Structure 1
Amino acid sequence: MARPAQDRTEVILAAARAQFREAGVDRATVDEIAARAGVGKGTVFLYWPSKTRLHEAVVGLEVARTLASLATGLRRDELRLSLGAIARHEITAGLDHPSTAPLLANQLTSAPALAVAPRRALRRIVDVMRSYDLVRDLDTDDVIAGMEVAMTGALVRALGEPPERPTILTALEHLVSSAYDRLDGPVESVAAAVPEVLEALEDAVDALVAAAAPDRPTTARLRPYERPPAEAPTGARH
């Protein structure tokens, strides 16, 4: 019995993810991915017009998982809300999932939808945190540029020197926090900012998932987890 379109999309993406990791992006072929998924090669091309687009979809879902993990950590109070902690989390994810490294290093210029969603989320997060006096009063573009430079340098260094990763990640967090975070902000401001930060992350997850399989009924099932209901802010802005 033929699988519904939604199931086929998931199966192909899972097969592509596994094949890319095992064989590498350059050596993996659409024939191998189709065979692994149990579908015809034409079915793969029906969903994605090229191997490059399929790889971008896989990377987009990896990044969506990373942002969902960040949201989960903030929601459960397992991660403190600071730009330093966010930078460390994202680079750690890049090291744990090498397929995301080109995006985090800002090299995936051929897939604007994948590059734009995380940057838009970061911009919203910086603006929200500033409104609650949780970051220094600096231009948002300057903050984002500085974070990207620091994160790219940390990623490249950590990829080249695996034994030094803990030291590099700690240095990254300290560098970003000392440059941009206001760590003396009141606890109630942090609690009030978190719901808006979560909304920014969730919107980015939705955009990445939608871009991974456009025009297909996959969004709900391909999301890293079900989006919780929005929570009203519990504090007032300054």
Structure 2
Amino acid sequence: MSQLERADRILDTAQDLLLRWGYRRVTIDEIAKRAGVGKGTVYLHWRTRDELFLAVGAREAVAMIEAVAAAMRADPAEIALHAYMRRFFLEAMRRPVLRALFTRDTDTLDRFLSSPARQPLQGAKLLASREYLGALADHGLLREDLRPEDLDYSLPTIAFGFFAIEPLLPKELALGLEEKADQLADVLRRTYGPARPPSPARLAAAAPEVVEIFERLAREYGAVAYGTTKGGDPEHGS
């Protein structure tokens, strides 16, 4: 078994237990046992329990970001802010660990929601966001009076409000996921979009730069997801 296959087996097991039992109850011992490896093998990839659970979320984030980038490559209109955030919302809500993170599901994630282990990726996310918004501004794909940094606070406040409201929605408000995503896109288009819809040529010109930003972010998340291997295998290939 390759190191990557072994890491995926551990991550699969950790994700399954996290979603079934919740963060508080899952131990490294139980993950190792169910993955068919020794405890030392888990620590060969991730130094702490929180780093392992961060890796579980990072792996789902890689899949989400790659799906976003693929959509942008297929259709440059997907790079527009409202279109990107619509797809981001749909992709995140369809992935159970990311959904738990973004909706602040304390039953599943408990105190991991405030764990310092989550901090290393914050800088990468902010840099990618600023580069993305900068590319949009450079190509006339944002409202003319906006600077990219003007969105540092307001954009996540609006966007993540759509996630945070999930556990508070009354049952009578029976909106489908696509409807929620459409409403998010409409709010962002009206708030930040240019006065006139951009031409296909303008979107196509900006697309390669934007796609590269997200491809790089996916690689950075991937590095966190799969950790590092230090020295030899304490279990001789387990």
Task: Provide the TM-score with structure 1 as the length reference.
Answer: 0.80
TM-align CA RMSD: 2.4
Q: Tell me, in whole angstroms, the C-alpha distance in 1 between the residues paired with 2:181 and 2:3.
A: 41
Of 167, 191, 196, which aligns to 2:204? 191
Q: Secondary structure at the match of 2:25?
A: coil
2:149 corresponds to which residue?
141
Change (3 A) 1:209 1:108: farther
Match of 2:165 in 1: 157
8 Å contact kept, 1:60–1:114: no
1:40 corresponds to 2:38: yes
**Residue in 1 that maps onto 2:122:** 115
Q: 1:23 to 1:127 in 2, by over 3 A?
A: same
Report how many residues are paired: 215
Letter in 1 for 2:189: S
Structure 1 equivalent of residue 213 of structure 2? 200
The one-letter amino acid paired with 2:125 is P
CA distance in 2, matches of 1:90, 1:113: 21
1:22 is displaced (CA, Å) by: 2.1
Matched, 1:174 2:186: yes
**One-letter amino acid of the structure 2 residue matched with residue 21 of structure 1:** L
Distance 1:211 1:6, change over 3 A: same
Q: Which has the higher contact order (CA 8 A, sep 6+)?
A: 2
Contact 1:103/1:115, CA 8 A, preserved across alignment: no
Deviates more, 1:96-105 or 1:37-46: 96-105
Measure how far apart 1:39 and its partner are.
Answer: 0.1
1:213 aligns with 2:226: yes
Please give the residue correspondences for 1:71-110 in structure 2 after superposition, counting only pairs within 5 Å: 71-77=69-75, 80-101=78-99, 104=102, 110=116
Cα shift readout 1:132-167 (whole Å, capped 9, x = no counterpart): 111123121222322101111111123433732444
Q: What is the distance in 2 between the residues matched to 1:108 and 1:83?
A: 28
Q: CA shift at 1:25, angstroms?
A: 1.9
SS in 1 for 2:79: coil
Which ranges in structure 1 are unaligned for 5 or more consecutive residues? 218-238
- The match for 1:222 is none
SS at match of 2:165: helix
Q: Percent identity?
A: 26
* 1:5 lines up with 2:13 in the alignment: no
Cα separation, partners in 2 of 1:135 and 1:112, compared to 1, 3 Å: same
On the 8 A contact 1:87/1:173 being kept in 2, the answer is yes
Contact 1:60–1:212 (Cα < 8 Å) also in 2: yes
The alpha-carbon deviation at position 18 of structure 1 amounts to 1.9
Q: Name the SS of the counterpart of 1:26 in structure 2.
A: helix
State whether residues 103 and 166 of structure 2, in contact with CA within 8 Å, keep that contact through their aligned partners in structure 1: no
Structure 2 residue aligned with 1:129, among 132, 136, 142?
136
TM-score (norm 2): 0.80
**Residue 18 (structure 1) aligned with residue 47 (structure 2):** no
Q: Return the letter of the residue paired with 2:124.
A: A
Please state how far the C-alpha of 1:102 moved relative to its aligned partner: 6.1
Shift of residue 58, structure 1, vs aligned partner: 0.7
> Hey, what's the Cα distance between the residues in 2 that align with 1:127 and 1:109?
30
